[in-house]
Chains A and B, each alone.
Chain A
Amino acid sequence: DVKVTQSSRYLVKRTGEKVFLECVQDMDHENMFWYRQDPGLGLRLIYFSYDVKMKEKGDIPEGYSVSREKKERFSLILESASTNQTSMYLCASKSASDTQYFGPGTRLTVL
């Protein structure tokens, strides 16, 4: 079974703080993704990575950066958290069959 894990299920941070969200997959997938999910807006792609040290912007990259130093780990960074970044963050990993497997999600609240 594919396993995608995320470092926290719930996180509360203050405006201006630097926030790290980590995602780890155990299936040697090359492609990994970060989405945010908001009511009425659905899942929106922030960044994705197709190999170590490679990254591409998704639809809403502003205010975020990512890091992929190892194949199994893909980190999402909020350099200076803002209240409009309060959201559910979902990491996904893609198999050779193109199926994306999602982690359990991190519900981030920025106060």
Chain B
Amino acid sequence: GQNIDQPTEMTATEGAIVQINCTYQTSGFNGLFWYQQHAGEAPTFLSYNVLDGLEEKGRFSSFLSRSKGYSYLLLKELQMKDSASYLCAVRDGRQAGTALIFGKGTTLSVSS
């Protein structure tokens, strides 16, 4: 079967660092994506990993270990505007190479 797991909720304070984990079990693997979604809005693309290792993009970094079926999104210097849902998604190469399988999302609340 196919399964993507991530925590339902996390809380953190302004200025802190938070790590959102994602584990996946899919029939195929052709890349892992992180999206950010503010309440009532559409998801927006944050990062893409297809090879093992860390991808850094400003305050956000994403890590992938294909052998462990594991990824994390690291958010540094948290700001109030980072309060949002963070979605982990895997591209299952088996499914015509185009569709993404999404986790249920992690709702992050940042407080002052």
Contacts and interface: CB of A to CB of B under 8 A. Distances in A.
Interface string A9-53: 000000000000000000000010101000011111100101000
B98 A48 contact: yes
A9 to B, nearest CB: 10
Interface in B33-92: 33, 35, 41-45, 48, 87, 89, 91
Contacts of B41: 104-105
A83 interface: no
B93 to A, nearest CB: 10
A56 B42 CA distance: 23
B102 A101 contact: no
A77 to B, nearest CB: 19
A33 B43 CA distance: 14
Interface bin, chain B: 20 to 34
A98 B45 contact: no
Contacts of A104: 41-42
Interface string A78-106: 00000000000010001001111111110
Contacts of A61: none
Instruction: Describe A's contact surface by its main secondary structure.
Output: strand
Nearest to A58: B99
Nearest to B95: A56
Interface of B: 30-31, 33, 35, 41-45, 48, 87, 89, 91, 96, 98-105
Given A45-B101, A98-B48, A99-B45, 17 more contacts: A35-B102, A40-B104, A41-B104, A42-B105, A43-B87, A43-B89, A43-B102, A45-B99, A45-B100, A50-B96, A56-B96, A90-B42, A100-B45, A100-B100, A102-B35, A102-B43, A104-B42
15 contacts: A31-B98, A42-B104, A43-B102, A56-B96, A94-B98, A98-B30, A98-B31, A98-B91, A99-B33, A99-B48, A100-B33, A100-B45, A102-B43, A102-B44, A105-B42
